[in-house]
Amino acid sequence: MNNILLYTGIYIFGVIISAVAQVLLKKSANIKQENIIKEYLNWKTIISYSVFFIATLCTVLSYKYLPLSFGPILGTLEYLFVAILSYYFLKEKIKKKKLIGLFIILIGIFIYSI
């Protein structure tokens, strides 16, 4: 039981850092670069893809103890984290439809976990 909680935490950590990487990548994409090489070889982009790699390692490690069917359920938390981070760091508004969608995702996760 302890292993399941630990690896669930590792999986969720991977989801959170993946959401951070997505927001950082979007911030990088919003900056106009002189050429295509500087677009892909700037620090924000390199860090983002490195964090994606770490998030993937967290996911693979988590499947050591988590059932395969549990991963996609936890993975949907990324929508929630991206929306929250985008609101704070990118100043994107969370519209009513998106809020309803996020609420439905949370209800689905809750129902699955029961």
Q: How does pLDDT run along the chain (114 residues), one tens digit per residue?
A: 678 889 999 999 999 999 999 999 998 887 777 777 777 788 888 999 999 999 999 999 999 889 888 888 889 999 999 999 999 999 999 999 999 999 999 999 889 877
Distance, in Å, from the CA atom of 72 to the CA atom of 52, rounded to the nearest integer, reads 17
Q: Is the sign of the CA dihedral 101, 105, 110, 111 positive or negative?
A: positive
Task: Decide: 62 and 2 in contact? Cβ < 8 Å.
Answer: no
What pLDDT does residue 1 have?
A: 65
What pLDDT does residue 103 have?
A: 94
Q: What is the pTM of this model?
A: 0.86
